[in-house]
């Protein structure tokens, strides 16, 4: 059993499954049921520290803490509640970095948008996260904590999880797949309710389905590919990393994912006013995805300070949608939530800098 740690001295238990926790208890001279108790208190009750697991013998709790084990929960640094009920949480890691996670409640569901990295190296032009640099990838406990923290604060069970916060999940694929396993088995969230969003990483996307099958057994989560342009030139001008990944190859790799998993791919398309939102772009996109069992998710650009992109008009959005629909594509428009608190798609950034330096 491998216990991960950050700063090298504090192995955490959050992220371990029930069998690993049983083994952990046995390795520490306890009965296996002690591991099941830890599991229940970590995932169902959401305890923040081992000391709070009061069903465990006091002496053993004390010993574990003395030995440097910890639950693996993060500290809430700050919270921002939007007018529309969207909640952005800033969570502090043990190395004093800040992670952003967003809870988006509606009447029927609570969607939790989580981060997979601190910052992001991909530097997509429309996204605030890429502007603030890249620090490191998150560990499993740091990913799972985002869900537990939002569950606690909103007092509601998350129904849908989307890896659409800070970071490129395919650059942290092992921890992301282990987290999906944990969400599914330990938090009992169906894989079909989990979406992994990526701009596409050349040497990872082609093997994603096989890698996921190895780790998860069955692959049922949704792959959302951030496309944002119908041709290579335009895509490169918005997403610098696209230079390394020809659009034709990217689409072939998405088809491979569909072939292996049987799951239709969702294509994300941020509409940038007068840049990629013209009728001709819609026609080109329809051609590109013709015959592909897919879904197009349109997102109107959410403004960030560093770029002068425009949000498209409602008329232009409707026109774009209707071209795709006429060509037989399944299309939806994602509502922008949390705009007033910079919690909407593309607006998350490493607020830690100003947070810690008191700027």
- Residues belonging to the active site: 100, 345
Contact positions with ligand SF4 (CB under 6 A) in 181-240:
199
Nearer to ligand SF4, 199 or 282 (CB): 199
State in Å, rounded, how far the first CA of the chain is from the last one: 42
Residue 340 phi, psi (nearest 5):
-70, -15
- Considering the complex, what minimum distance in angstroms separates the CB of residue 205 from ligand SF4? 13
In the bound state with ligand SF4, the residue whose beta carbon lies nearer, of 21 and 127, is 127
SS (H, E, C) 261-289: HCCCEEEEEEECCCCCCCHHHHHHHHHHC
Contacts to ligand SF4 from residues 238-297, by CB under 6 A? none
What gap in Å lies between CA 72 and CA 12, rounded to an integer?
A: 5
Which of 128, 323 has the CB closer to ligand SF4? 128
Count, residues near ligand SF4 per rule CB under 6 A: 11
Is residue 174 exposed (0-12), middle (13-18) or buried (19+ Cβ within 10 Å)?
A: exposed
Closest to ligand SF4 by CB, 131 or 215: 131
| Closer residue to ligand SF4 (CB): 38 or 225 | 225
Please provide the DSSP assignment of 61-82 as one string. Answer: HHHHHHTT-B--PPEEEEEEE-
Q: Residues 46, 48, 54, 57: is their CA dihedral positive or negative?
A: positive
244 alpha-carbon distance from chain centroid? 23
Q: Take residue 200 and report the two structure tokens written for it.
A: 């596409």
CB of 41 to ligand SF4, least distance (A): 33
Among 25, 56, 150, 166, binds ligand SF4 (CB under 6 A): 166
Gyration radius of the chain's alpha carbons? 21
Helix (H) or strand (E) holding 117: strand 117-119
Rounded to a whole number of angstroms, the minimum distance from the CB of residue 25 to ligand SF4 is: 38
Q: Which helix (H) or strand (E) holds 216?
A: helix 208-216
List the interface residues with ligand SF4, window 27-56 (CB under 6 A).
none
* Contacts (CB under 6 A) with ligand SF4, residues 123-142: 123-124, 127, 129-130
Helix (H, G, I), strand (E, B) or coil at 100: strand
Specify the 3-state DSSP secondary structure of 42: helix
Provide the minimum distance between the beta carbon of 260 and ligand SF4 in the complex, in angstroms, as a whole number: 23
Q: How far is the CB of 356 from ligand SF4 (least distance, A)?
A: 21
Per CB under 6 A, 167 contacts ligand SF4: yes
The kind and range of the H/E element at 140 are: helix 140-154
CB 91 within 8 A of CB 139: no
Residues 198, 236: Cα–Cα separation, whole Å: 15
Residues 102-121 that bind ligand SF4 (CB under 6 A): 120
Q: Which is nearer to ligand SF4, 184 or 241 (CB)?
A: 241
Closest CB 240 distance from ligand SF4, rounded Å: 9
Minimum distance, C-beta of residue 173 to ligand SF4, in the bound complex (Å): 14
Q: Which is nearer to ligand SF4, 145 or 168 (CB)?
A: 168
Query: Binder to ligand SF4 among 122, 173, 323, 344 (CB under 6 A)?
Result: 122
Binding site for ligand SF4 (CB under 6 A): 120, 122-124, 127, 129-130, 166-168, 199
């Amino acid at each position: 059993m491998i216990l991960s740690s950050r700063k090298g001295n504090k192995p955490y238990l959050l992220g371990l499954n029930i069998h690993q926790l049983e083994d952990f208890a046995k390795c520490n001279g306890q009965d296996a049921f002690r591991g099941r108790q830890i599991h229940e208190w970590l995932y169902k009750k959401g305890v923040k520290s081992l000391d709070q697991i009061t069903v465990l013998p006091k002496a053993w709790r004390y010993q574990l803490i003395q030995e440097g084990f910890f639950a693996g929960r993060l500290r809430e640094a700050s919270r921002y509640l939007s007018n529309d009920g969207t909640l952005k949480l800033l969570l502090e890691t043990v190395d004093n970095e800040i992670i952003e996670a967003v809870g988006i409640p509606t009447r029927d569901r609570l969607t939790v948008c989580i981060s997979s990295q601190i910052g992001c190296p991909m530097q997509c032009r429309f996204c605030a996260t890429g502007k603030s640099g890249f620090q490191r990838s998150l560990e499993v406990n740091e990913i799972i904590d985002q869900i537990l923290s939002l569950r606690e604060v909103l007092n509601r069970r998350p129904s849908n999880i989307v890896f659409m916060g800070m970071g490129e999940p395919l650059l942290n694929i092992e921890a992301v797949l282990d987290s999906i396993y944990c969400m599914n088995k330990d938090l009992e969230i169906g894989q079909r309710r989990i979406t992994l969003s990526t701009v596409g990483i050349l040497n990872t996307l082609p093997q994603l389905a096989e890698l996921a099958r190895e780790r998860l057994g069955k692959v049922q989560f949704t792959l959302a590919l951030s496309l944002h342009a119908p041709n290579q030139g335009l895509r490169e001008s918005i997403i610098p990393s696209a230079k390394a990944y020809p659009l034709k190859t990217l689409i072939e790799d998405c088809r491979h994912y569909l072939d292996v998993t049987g799951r239709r791919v969702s294509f994300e398309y941020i509409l940038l006013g007068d840049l990629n939102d013209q009728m001709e772009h819609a026609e080109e996109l329809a051609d590109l995805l013709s015959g592909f069992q897919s879904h197009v998710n349109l997102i109107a650009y959410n403004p960030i300070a560093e770029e002068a992109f425009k949000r498209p008009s409602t008329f232009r959005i409707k026109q774009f949608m209707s071209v795709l629909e006429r060509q037989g594509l399944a299309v939806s428009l994602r509502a922008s939530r949390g705009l007033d608190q910079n919690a909407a798609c593309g607006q998350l950034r490493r607020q830690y800098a100003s947070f810690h330096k008191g700027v």
